[in-house]
Amino acid sequence: MNPDVDLKYLQLLAKSFPSIQEASTEIINLEAILNLPKGTEHFISDLHGEYGAFQHVLRNASGVIKSKVELLFSNTLKESERQDLCTLIYYPEEKLKIVRQTEKEINDWYKITLIHVIKVCSMVSSKYTRSKLRKALPKEYSYIIQELMHESLNEPNKQEYLYAIIATIISTGRAEHFITAICYVIQRLTIDCLHVIGDIYDRGPGAHLIMDELCNYHNLTIQWGNHDLLWMGAAAGNAACMANVLRISLRYANLRTLEDGYGINLLPLATFAMETYRNDTCTQFKPKLNSCSDISLKEIKLISQMHKAMAIIQFKLEGALINKRAEFKMSGRNLLHHVNYEKGTITIDGREYPLKDRDFQTVDPANPYELTPEEKEVVNVLLHNFTNNPVLLRHIRCLLSRGSLYLIRNGNLLFHASVPLNEDGSLKQVDIAGTKYKGKALFDKIESIVRNAFFAEDSAEKEFAKDYLWYLWCGPYSPSFDKDKMTTFERYQISDKSTHTETNGYYTKLKDRKDICEMILHEFGIDGEHTHIINGHVPVKTLKGESPIKAEGKLFVIDGGYSKAYQPETGIAGYTLIFNSHGLSLVQHEPFSSVEEAVRYGTDIKSERRFINEYKERILVRDTDIGASLKQQSADLKDLLEAYRLGLIRQQI
């Protein structure tokens, strides 16, 4: 027995395993699990509200389900039949509705389809224990599914028994329920763990739907992106964060998440904007619309007015926050007091520029960062809607409970954007409230600040944390931003594009170097050949020949453009990085059409998969972080067995 083992700990362990037999059984179970292949991890990033594409990638497991169907049925089913089977697995309710309307021999179809989906389910569950499989199965069908999966239809002695089960399922009218249940089990088992590397919010219309899906997902991690932190700041009560959320939503005419998803009442803002800018064309604030937008000219005018109103409110709120927090050292971003309101110009770094929009009727030149009484009222009402919103707060709790600033998992370091660096590649020290932090210590400190914005009991500490959430959105040394400034005002108001430049931090400039990535990995306690950094944040410009694989395979940047706004730059519609027992592979997705087309015509996201690291020996659970934990549990149980045998602890028989 290990002399360092705490007997009190073993006594606590004995409450769960009160006899030699029970402890021995658990050791056998753990050792068996350690020798199973590792589960499949999927890594995605920068979803930006594109629920349709995200949902499809989740349902088809980035093409993995299709590959399993091909492997099982390439010699027995036609290509169109295999595609129909895949579509059924992805969208069972929708596909069954069509089949019900078109299939003449429906009972025969049920029988054949049940056999097919059971075979697929058996294949994708092969790397799991029966205990884990049972947890994934719907309770009402658990026993029957297990019977069908673990008995072979080719075994003569069992054939009649199994066909009788299938016939009974059909005759009792449960075939469609049963098929649907198995299809969702296949989806769940194909992805053992989903990692979302930040930026769920903004741009697209379905961030709230994505959050609903994620909050109910069986095994999930999230690394907060700057857009997520912005929404978290708004929910925590930071007015500048809220103003940014609203401005971005109006800029892309994306009000569905705000109004339909969270029920945010925009009427006070709309009323204020229409009254204030009724004679203003608000040309510079017309929303960015995609080709599918169905918005009337009247709606465009109103959104433009609301957009301008919120942009000016944002500049004021940010200016007040920058003046309040001198320690952020962002006074250079306060620009309203540099405007010559009579001439319609602004002076930046000694150079005068004409402004595109000269109507600043709500700005007092003598006190440009003060809100008007009407603006204050709008801000107060909207802020109340954000901070007292039960749906939004439920989603934020999910981000807090299942998310983090960074994650270390199975030799991979996951974070959204950057690690602040100096020009020479060394870790940059960042001052937070008078103390300097760098590397892992900086990330740990920032994560504690994010949580303080919601949970701190000290009011001053909580107020600082709420303000720091805004800094994480656009601050020059924020790991989630990694630029010297965010030139929002210049992009709206100045034609000279040289003023729009946002200089990237040194991480962005140096991350292609293997030695830099290895240094960062070492800082976070990760060393070895098969170790990697996984980021999102910066869209990979595939059209220009840029690769998501960097630093000689040490870094993967997997922002491939789920957001339609970025697809003209990337040329594709997202990446999925897959890490299974055979190694790492990267899946490149083409744009998704619609669920309707996928169901009716069997269209799928075209995905190109390439292996990055294919290991010689299959990776087992014992080689993973979970495996390390299970091995420690097994060792503890062996110490408990020894304590039982020596009489140090009595069995409860």
- Kindly report, residue by residue over 423-442, the tens digit of the pLDDT: 999 999 999 999 999 999 99
Instruction: Tell me the pairing of strands 403-404 and 220-223.
Output: parallel
Neighbours of 652 (CB within 10 A): 10
- pLDDT one-digit tens code per residue, 184-201: 999 999 999 999 999 999
What does the block give as tokens for 598?
Answer: 């996928």
463: phi then psi, degrees, rounded to nearest 5: -65, -40
Measure the CA–CA gap between 570 and 410, rounded to whole angstroms. 29
Instruction: Give the model's confidence band at 605: pLDDT under 50 very low, under 70 low, under 90 confident, else very high.
Output: low
Is pLDDT of 293 > 70? no
Q: Please give the average per-residue pLDDT across 200-224, as a whole number.
A: 95
pLDDT at 409: 97
- The pLDDT of 615-640, averaged and rounded, is 94
Phi/psi at 601 (5° precision)? -110, 0
Q: Report residue 9: phi and psi, to 5°.
A: -65, -45
Structure tokens at 27: 């050791």
Q: Tens digit of pLDDT for each residue in 527-566?
A: 998 999 999 988 888 888 889 999 999 999 998 778 777 7
Nearest to 644 by CA among 652, 615, 340: 652
- Return d(Cα 562, Cα 309) in angstroms, integer: 29
Per-residue pLDDT at 154 exceeds 80: no
Indicate the burial class of 536 (C-beta count within 10 angstroms; 0-12, 13-18, 19 or more): buried
In percent, how much of the chain has pLDDT > 90?
79
Percent of the chain's residues with pLDDT above 70:
96
Highest mean pLDDT among 79-83, 242-246, 561-565, 602-606: 242-246
Residue spans per domain, the chain = 7-35+627-646, 62-190, 226-387+423-474
Q: Contact at 8 Å (CB) between 378 and 313?
A: yes
Helices (H), 196-265: 207-215, 226-236, 239-251, 256
CA distance 356 to 339: 12
Structure tokens at 401: 């409970």
Tokens of 184: 């969702």
The 10 Å Cβ neighbour count of residue 142 is: 16
Report residue 203: phi and psi, to 5°.
75, -70
Q: What is the largest CA-CA distance in the chain?
A: 94
Non-local CB neighbours of 540 within 8 Å, separated by 6+ positions: 546, 547, 548, 557, 558, 559, 560, 561, 570, 575
Burial (Cβ within 10 Å: 0-12, 13-18, ≥19) of residue 274: middle
CA distance 480 to 501: 18
Average pLDDT over residues 40-63: 92
Rounded to whole angstroms, the Cα distance separating 207 from 48 reads 7
Kindly tell me the number of DSSP H helices and DSSP E strands found in the chain.
Answer: 27, 17
Percent helix, strand and coil across the chain, each to the nearest 5:
55, 10, 35
pLDDT-based confidence at 589, cuts 50/70/90?
confident
Q: Cβ(327)–Cβ(449) under 8 Å?
A: no
Residue type, 68: K
Q: State the chain's mean pLDDT as an integer.
A: 92
146, pLDDT greater than 80: yes
Give the residue-averaged pLDDT of 510-530: 96
Output the CA angle 435-403-546, nearest 5 degrees.
90
Residue 1 in this model has a pLDDT that exceeds 80: no
Paired strand residues for 435:
432
Which contiguous run of DSSP H or E holds residue 613? Answer: strand 607-614
Q: Are 414 and 479 in contact (CB under 8 A)?
A: no
For 187-225, give one letter per residue: b (16+ CB within 10 A) or e. Answer: bbbbbbbbbbbbbbbbbbbbbbbbbbbbeebeebbbbbb
Alpha helices in 74-195 (DSSP H): 79-90, 92-102, 106-124, 130-136, 142-150, 156-171, 175-190
SS3 category, 394: helix
| DSSP single-letter state for residue 602 | -
Per the CB < 8 A criterion, the answer to whether 648 and 3 are in contact is no
Virtual torsion, Cα 353, 354, 358, 364, nearest 10 deg: 30
Tokens coding 422: 């100096």
599 backbone φψ class: left, alpha, beta (φ>0; ψ -120 to 50): alpha
Between CA 240 and CA 375 the distance in angstroms is 13
Contact criterion met (CB below 8 Å) for 206 and 50: yes
Q: Is 43 helix (H, G, I), strand (E, B) or coil?
A: strand
In terms of Cα–Cα distance, which of 581, 489, 540, 57 is closest to 244? 489
Res 588 pLDDT > 90: no
The pLDDT assigned to 610 comes to 78
As a dihedral over the C-alpha atoms of residue 92, residue 94, residue 100, residue 106, rounded to 10 degrees, the angle is -10
- Check residue 2 and give its pLDDT: 64
**3 state DSSP class of 412:** strand
Residue 469 near residue 233 (C-beta atoms within 8 A): yes
- Is pTM, for the whole model, over 0.85? yes
Residue position matching structure tokens 């103003």 = 243
